[in-house]
Structure 1
Amino acid sequence: MIKASDAVRAQRTNTRGLILEAIRTRGPISRGELAEATGLTAATMTNVVRRLLEDGLVLETGRGESTGGKRRVLLEVDAGARFGVGIQLGFGSTVLVVSNMWGAVVGRSRMAGIGRAHPDEYIERLAIGLLDLIDSLGLDRDLVVGAGVAVPGSFDGFRQSPDTQELLEAWASFPLQDRLVEYTAVDAVAECEAIAAAIGERWSGAVADSEAFAVILMEDAIGVGAVLQGRTLRGAHGHAGDLGHMLIDPAGPSCTCGARGCLVAVAGPAASLRRYSSAVGRQVSAARLNAAAVAGDPVAVSALAPSVNAFATAAASMTDMLDLERIVLAGTGFGSAMSLFITGIQTALDERSRRRGRPPVIVQASVSVRDAPALGAAALVLHEEMIGVGMPPGIVAAR
């Protein structure tokens, strides 16, 4: 028997992925509409769709209106054919979601974060939480294709404590994926949380019309996942996106990294809280600060303004460098003050675009502000199963 070459197999995989993604995002859709949408021949379409039906990934769900002949059979992805788990590791808390083939969250849980736990101890607890979530939903474990883990781009959460160097070193060398597979028998893949958030936005369809966009994620750290012409930017050593340590103010407050005036030191939630607590003479929560600022309290607005302005500066720099069309804000760090950040950043970018004669840049909140990295992590494993590659169509790892 003559075996297909690697190039032929890759082409078949890409064709399968193209058709399956078209069905997922446009369905219910007929074969004729698929051929028109993808530019593939009717013969190719028939063969691929037949295999997708045999694999149980696609369903024939009814018939569309007649266009003069026989009514068209409609296709759509079977939402419950496969499931993916997305995990967002955090220092304060860790979020787990289960997503179906449509990208809808069918289950969610939250557990204690990394804190100061040793990797082995924590991954054992995480594995129990993952399997408990799957079982609580009554899912057949064989239908769970894998777990994607969104990991912090930097370990600023550890650096806040001076005596955690040993933990930093332990996590830096820890084989997270291997251990998770060992404890759960579920395939696992790890991704930087900001890049995972960007993948989650693409998977949801919220930025489908943007060739150049960035997701700014504020959690324990501040990161950015940027996508240009379908390629995620990772840098020479995989460290691209550490937005929290972009220099904003050389004379600004000291940062845990040893520098001064980094974005996280000027604009992170802790910085806003310090300004507000100092002004009102007592310690308050981030939730209370954000609520007061949204309500128009002048002291709260004044405390939050340097953070909004710093993010606007960072967004403007990114837009100039990368020629972005869209900026998405995600993460629990923005809290209920998300609208203030969006308005402040949008106003600054609009003014900059007018002065320079550039097209406007859209600033928006994530479709899933608190779970964007976890959803993106789930999308990675679902696309691995659906298509044979770990990135959604239009998102490929930059080399």
Structure 2
Amino acid sequence: MSEIRQPSPRRGTNLPRMGDFNLTVILDAIRRSPAGLSRVELAHIVGLSPQTISNISRRLLDQDLIYEAGKEGTGPGKPRTMLKLKSSGMYAVGVHLDPAVTTCVVLDLVGAVVKHSRIKTPAGTDPGSVIDTIAAEIKQIIAASGVDPARIAGLGVAAPGPIDLEEGTVVDPPLLPGWDHVPLRDALAAATGLTTIVDKDVTSAAVAETWAGGPSGSGSFVFMYMGTGIGCGIVLNDEVVRGTSGNAGEIGHIIVDPDGPLCDCGTRGCIKASCIPQVLVAQAVAAGVLPGPLEAVTGPAIQESITALCAAADAGDPKAEAIIDRSAVLVARAVSTITNALDVDRVVFGGPFWTCLSRLYLARIPELVRELSDTRKIHEIDVVGTGVGEDVGAIGAACLVLEHALAPRSQRLLLDG
């Protein structure tokens, strides 16, 4: 396994009127050090004066965002007081809207799930009724969590792309009929009273990995999102890449089988036409592995069918195994195209359908990616499952809120006037 590089700490500035930026720099440094940091260590890591560190630490303690976690030090000199994030200092709510299932979480400041719920995404073509259902579920989960609503920083929503980040809308996503330019952000903000952020599901999953994935979420990696569609979140040098419009990672039209089925884009063998779950289910029905045809091509129906297909493959059905194995080969080709272009440390798989696919995919894809890697003689590319778990989309959505509140951003350096 290749060595995992530690995240590069952000640097603060000693210029005047930079308090907000420096505060987030210090919070970010403490967040990246689960064992805690002393004030002396903070000064060394972020490049701020001891007096600035002391002043900001006092502010953070007063705001209940950090706490003093005892003293450490065995050598000569005074033991140092360690500072850690206080888990109850802030909370965030995350929602992952997938055509198959909608997941909600309440997350604390250190990224731990306080409360979780999962419901089937309502069918139909009326986005308003789905949004009402999601809003009711958000209110229910907040009440059940026992969290003080005043400590909830906001609501993050992970939605299938493409999205319009500026408008907070989803733009005609697959398997969500009627969802063309639906104002998801503003509708949920109005229904819940929470400041709301919307981002792509694959981007949210990548954010979750950087915040809560542990070693798999550091450095440079791609997050292969396995849901009703297949997408890719991109992280380079610990920074999530969103692209010009926030839609980076739309990989559905990468060609993985030149002689494959015709895609609606006019070419043959795209990911979208060759290896997304809906295609695998159709292949399983044609092969007699699953009964068919499907009564309706909906997210929940696809999820139930792909779960049944994976169960048949795990039980040794040769036709089911062949379908999953073939899809693994095609996905590996797509992964290699992406990793060769970006030169990353690892590939992380996750998403709603990852659990059932993981055994056969991890048995097949890692070696294929190594064989197809242009940099295999220079460095390895690790292929792993998510360190966050099945709810990576919803956790990532909540992490969007924490990222917005806590992560250092260049906008904080802009001076009033």
TM-score for both structures, normalised by structure 1: 0.85
Residue 287 in 1 paired to residue 295 in 2? no
How do 1:227-246 residues align onto structure 2 when only pairs under 5 Å count?
227-246=235-254
Which residue of structure 2 lines up, in the alignment, with residue 225 of structure 1? 233
Matched, 1:310 2:317: no
Q: CA separation of 1:25/1:308 partners in 2, compared to 1, >3 Å: closer, same or farther?
A: same
**In structure 2, what is the Cα distance between the partners aligned to 1:180 and 1:381?**
14
**Match of residue 260 from structure 1:** 268
Q: 2:247, 2:79 → 1: CA distance? A: 53
Q: Does the aligned pair in 2 maintain the 1:328–1:365 contact within 8 Å?
A: yes
Q: Call closer, same or farther: CA 1:332–1:174 in 2, change over 3 Å.
A: closer
Provide closer, same or farther for how the CA distance between residues 211 and 14 of structure 1 changes in structure 2, counting only shifts above 3 A: farther
Contact persistence 2:223–2:348 (CA under 8 A): yes
Contact 1:90 1:114 in 2 (8 A): no
1:147 and 1:236 map into 2 onto residues whose CA distance is 23
Matches within 5 A, 1:1-399: 9=17, 11-26=18-33, 27-154=35-162, 159=174, 164=177, 167=178, 171-207=179-215, 210-255=218-263, 259-280=267-288, 282-283=290-291, 285-353=305-373, 357-387=377-407, 389=409
> RMSD across aligned C-alpha pairs, in angstroms?
2.8
Superposition deviation, residue 355 in structure 1 = 8.1
Alpha carbons of structure 1 residues 41 and 355: separation in structure 2 relative to 1, 3 Å: closer
Query: Residues 8 and 43 of structure 1: is their aligned pair in 2 closer, same or farther, counting only changes over 3 Å?
Result: closer
How far is the alpha carbon of 1:390 from its aligned partner? 11
2:216 touches 2:387 (CA, 8 Å); kept in 1?
no
Whether the 8 Å contact between 2:339 and 2:373 is mirrored in structure 1 is no
Cα deviation, residue 117, structure 1: 4.1
Aligned mates of 1:48, 1:205 — CA distance in 2: 28
The residue matched to 1:377 in structure 2 has which SS? helix
CA distance in 1, matches of 2:410, 2:190: 21
3-state SS, counterpart of residue 354 of structure 2: helix
C-alpha deviation, 1:213, in angstroms: 1.2
Deviation at 1:228, TM superposition (A): 2.0
Cα deviations by residue, 1:121-140 (Å, 9 ceiling, x for unpaired): 22222111101100011111
SS in 2 for 1:97: strand
Distance in 1 of aligned mates of 2:359 and 2:329: 14
Is contact 1:216-1:224 (8 Å) kept? yes
SS of the aligned residue for 1:225 comes to strand
- Report the CA distance shift for 1:190/1:389 in structure 2 as closer, same or farther (over 3 A): farther
Identify the structure with the greater helix proportion.
1
Unmatched runs of 5 consecutive residues or more in structure 2: 1-14, 163-169, 293-304, 412-417
CA deviation digits over 1:253-280, x for unaligned, max 9?
2445565322132112232233333334
CA distance in structure 2 between the aligned counterparts of 1:333 and 1:103, rounded to whole angstroms: 22
Specify the alignment match of 1:4 in structure 2. Answer: none
- What is the Cα deviation at residue 111 of structure 1? 2.4
Paired residue type of 2:350: A
The worse-fitting range, judged by mean Cα deviation, of 80-89 and 332-341 is 332-341
Aligned residue pairs: how many? 378
- Contact 2:99–2:175 under 8 Å retained in 1: no
Distance (Å, rounded) in 2 between the aligned partners of 1:150 and 1:75: 32
Counterpart of 1:395 in structure 2 is none
Counterpart of 2:268 in 1: which secondary structure?
coil
What SS does the aligned partner of 1:80 have? helix
Shift of 1:307: 0.5
Shift of 1:384: 2.5
